[in-house]
Structure 1
Amino acid sequence: MFAVTGASGQLGRLVITALLDRVAPDRVVALVRAPERVADLAALGVQVRGFDYDARETLVPALAGVERLLLISGNAIGSRSAQHGAVIAAAKAARVGLVAYTSILHADRSPLQLATEHRTTEGMLAASGLDHALLRNGWYTENYLMSAGSAIEHRVLLGSSGAAVISAAARADYAEAAATALVRGLTGTFELAGAPGFTQDELAAALSELSGVPVTYRDLAQSDYAAALEQAGLPGPFAAILADSDARAGEGALFDASGTLSQLIGRPTTPWRETIAKGLPR
């Protein structure tokens, strides 16, 4: 029995889809806070169970019979360590055989603010005694679609990563890797990233070509980029975290040339230009 937390989210749904290509639907459990959001999965024969990181009484019962669990990191920055710790404790109580966790690239040495809770979670998994796999995901290529429309409108792409190469991959690539790890029962640490990567100048050039509008990249100081993001409507704390991530990327924090993701999924990762072209606002 394979279970996926956050199954109604973008990554979770893709993992469920990848699992259904590999195993029968009745062996897949979708763990979600709001089961009604995945009625379509239930219609396919997937087991749907209520599972709320913040409602501990839901956790152990929902893991009954689960042999392998994918813990997709939560999105409540600042609360994730406690949430993940509750899931890990529940997995141990429910005697889950393997926990795979979606961490961050090079979590053990990453300078990103976002890496802190991932390191804590990795430590809790190590201390739990559970067999586990650390799926250290790099950036999603889709992350850059959030700013693509504005970049095309204003003819400038803003950032703080300089000329650094970002080894991003499509969300579906990471989902396929997670499904593979679960089905094969893999343990250990996997640094997962796309290849080839791209610079912000290359991304701006691609946006220009795809839109027919000239777009250039403007590199900003971290504080100026955070201010620009906040001015664009993002909450201050979130803007600061994004700016930190971009600046640390400029130091090489989101680069990896190991090819582990391609090896795990058995094919090259999705070309980044393909992902941008497919998701670009029309």
Structure 2
Amino acid sequence: MKIAIAGATGQLGQLVIDSLLERGADPAQLIAIGRSEEKLAPFAGRGLETRVADYNVPQSVATALEAVDKLLLISGSEVGQRTVQHTNVINAAKNAKVSLVAYTSIANAVTGETKLAAEHIATEQLLADSGVSYVLLRNGWYTENYTDQLMGYLNSGVILGAAGDGKVSAAPRADYAQAAAAVLLSGDDQSGKIYELGGDKPFTLTQLAGAVSAAAGQEVRYQDVEAQKLVEIYTESGVPAMFAEILVDTDVRIRTGALEVSSGDLAQLIGRAPTSLGKTIKEALSK
């Protein structure tokens, strides 16, 4: 049973491979796929097969998926290019007769109505139309989306946002990686399943500020900002305009529950409660 991880050299991909190995997967049965041979080299050193492919180059993907049984398609990082890229991978998977494609989508993809979900919805439809057996891993927000900004929060004393009192069911990237590994190694039929994944203790950005304050021992407060003003703040700080619009749109949609998850799917797949916000913040501060 050959399991391939497309996007293996990214942050999530590396953690998925770690989780697969921790769960007893035979490294000789794992295939790490990425764009950079240099970045793939450490996987080869751990006994994995490595294959170079670029989502933008159909033939490279077709070659990389030869003799693959299960594929984890980690969504591309180039917003605006992902539908075409994912089309290339799905077509290659179909031609290679891959038995199952697991795709990392976004929580509440259809109902959340975020701009960020558009390419994920398109990819979900591509999978449905392809005839390939697939499972959707609708990942919620990564806690790292906030903890990666800890120094900025602490230096300014402020977390800016447009989410109001909306709640976010976030979990660390490693928890989502463990869920993906569990699905890939499962002996149960995963075809057609949709997992809505997220932390089991949703929080507001005001609560996020409180958790940061408690962990760091200094006051940080949440400041709600009008959406267009927040877009301007982001663009003035160097965030590309299109991405700034998407970030703020997501914040606004948080108000109506776009990133709140109550399924319990993540805990069920990983066999424990998702890692708490407080613990994740403390671990980030200790690095």
Equivalent pair of 1:222/1:247 in contact (CA under 8 Å): yes
Equivalent pair of 2:112/2:257 in contact (CA under 8 Å): no
Q: Which letter maps to 2:33?
A: L
Instruction: Establish whether residue 266 from structure 1 lines up as the match of residue 268 from structure 2.
Output: no
Determine helix, strand or coil for the equivalent of 2:115.
coil
Corresponding position of 1:14: 15
2:190 equivalent among 172, 186, 196: 186
C-alpha separation in 1, matches of 2:15 and 2:111: 28
C-alpha separation in 1, matches of 2:284 and 2:41: 26
Q: Which letter maps to 1:254?
A: L
2:131 equivalent among 123, 129, 132: 129
C-alpha separation in 2, matches of 1:58 and 1:69: 15
What's the RMSD between the two structures over aligned residues?
1.2
Corresponding position of 1:138: 140
Corresponding position of 2:153: 151
Corresponding position of 1:208: 213
Q: Which letter maps to 1:106?
A: N
- 1:227 Cα deviation from its structure 2 partner: 1.4
Deviations 1:86-116 (A, max 9, x none): 1000001111100000001111222110101
Equivalent pair of 1:197/1:272 in contact (CA under 8 Å): no
Instruction: Establish whether residue 67 from structure 1 lines up as the match of residue 72 from structure 2.
Output: no
C-alpha separation in 2, matches of 1:42 and 1:54: 24
- 1:281 Cα deviation from its structure 2 partner: 7.5
Determine helix, strand or coil for the equivalent of 1:114.
helix
Determine helix, strand or coil for the equivalent of 1:64.
coil
C-alpha separation in 1, matches of 2:109 and 2:251: 16
C-alpha separation in 1, matches of 2:217 and 2:267: 32
Compute the TM-score of the two structures, normalised by the length of structure 1.
0.97
Alignment of 1:28-39 (within 5 A): 28-39=30-41
Corresponding position of 1:52: 54
Q: Which letter maps to 2:16?
A: V
Q: Which letter maps to 2:74?
A: I
Deviations 1:233-261 (A, max 9, x none): 21221111111111111221100111111
Structure 1: gaps of 5 or more residues:
none
1:162 equivalent among 155, 161, 164: 164
C-alpha separation in 2, matches of 1:280 and 1:233: 25
% same residue: 44
C-alpha separation in 1, matches of 2:111 and 2:214: 36
Instruction: Name which of structure 1's ranges 211-220 and 2-11 shifts more when overlaid on structure 2.
Output: 211-220
Instruction: Establish whether residue 109 from structure 1 lines up as the match of residue 104 from structure 2.
Output: no
C-alpha separation in 2, matches of 1:73 and 1:51: 14
Deviations 1:26-70 (A, max 9, x none): 000000000211211110101110111011111111111110000
Compute the TM-score of the two structures, normalised by the length of structure 2.
0.95
Corresponding position of 2:28: 26
C-alpha separation in 2, matches of 1:17 and 1:8: 12
Equivalent pair of 1:52/1:58 in contact (CA under 8 Å): yes
Equivalent pair of 2:215/2:278 in contact (CA under 8 Å): no
Corresponding position of 1:41: 43
1:252 equivalent among 235, 257, 274: 257
